[in-house]
Structure 1
Amino acid sequence: MGLLVDDEALERLTDIGERYSLRYAIQLLAPSNEIAKIRNSGKIEVQDVDRAEKLFADVSKSSAYLKEWEEKLLQ
């Protein structure tokens, strides 16, 4: 069974793929779908993608976060 994705949400995922990586954008599909299900929707909308992006960091964001905390904790 495939996923239904709103055009605006697909555009947002495309932007995310261009900014970070295609892998990260694709990985956001699963949590976006779960968030849509919580809203009792069978279609992923831009609000679902935005929420998933806030909850799950890509590799570069994760690395920056770890670097920041490493510096704070080693002081």
Structure 2
Amino acid sequence: VVNRYIDEGVAELVPGVLFIDEVHMLDMECFSYMNRALESSLSPIVIFATNRGICNVRGTDISSPHGIPVDLLDRLVIIRSETYGPADMIQILAIRAQVEELVVDEESLAYLGEIGQQASLRHAVQLLSPASIVAKMNGRDGICKADLEEVCSLYLDAKSSAKLLQEQQERYIT
């Protein structure tokens, strides 16, 4: 099918790098297309990213590592990654604050690092912007720990939100 589409001019495969994040969200039809496309001489380098372990391939009852069909999984090289430690998180948060031109003291960066360890790095990064607004509302140019504590009282991370919903499920419409 892919080669026919290329021959007809309906589709085009451009050599290069294709990065697919959240690959576990693809369904069997997408994986079949990818499997066939990878056999082409014009096949790009394909990088899949996912944070899933064993789960069903989307739209099927087939359980597979990372939600990727086994026939495609056999053709992949899997790169093991490690979770970030506290020092790494603080460094990433400091770089992000610098990019956003935010002033954050060391105590606040350490606190954000703790939040990143407990919740997620994404959540810690997302707190920078509202904390900056709170700091400005309080007449400061830089973010301090009190600003982060105030913001943390307003915004939940995904895990805390799910836990709260579970605990208070009788209060919600199902």
Residue in 1 that maps onto 2:33: none
Among 108, 113, 119, the residue aligned to 1:9: 108
Partner Cα distance (1:45, 1:29) in 2:
11
Say what the alpha-carbon RMSD is for the aligned residues. Answer: 1.5
Measured in 2, the distance between the counterparts of 1:44 and 1:8 equals: 10
Query: Which has the bigger relative contact order, CA under 8 A and spacing at least 6?
Result: 1
Segments of 4+ in structure 1 off by > 4 A? none
Structure 1 or 2: more strand by fraction: 2
**Structure number, greater radius of gyration:** 2
Q: Higher helix share goes to which structure?
A: 1
Partner of 2:124: 25
The unaligned stretches of length 5 or more in structure 1 are none
Q: Specify whether residues 24 and 73 from structure 1 end up closer, same or farther in structure 2 by C-alpha distance, changes over 3 A only.
A: closer
Question: What is the one-letter code of the residue matched to 2:149?
Answer: D
Of 148, 155, 162, the match for 1:49: 148
Partner AA of 1:4 in structure 2 = V
TM-score, L = length of structure 1: 0.89
CA distance in 2, matches of 1:54, 1:63: 16
Q: Percent identity?
A: 35
Q: Unaligned 5+ residue runs, structure 2?
A: 1-99
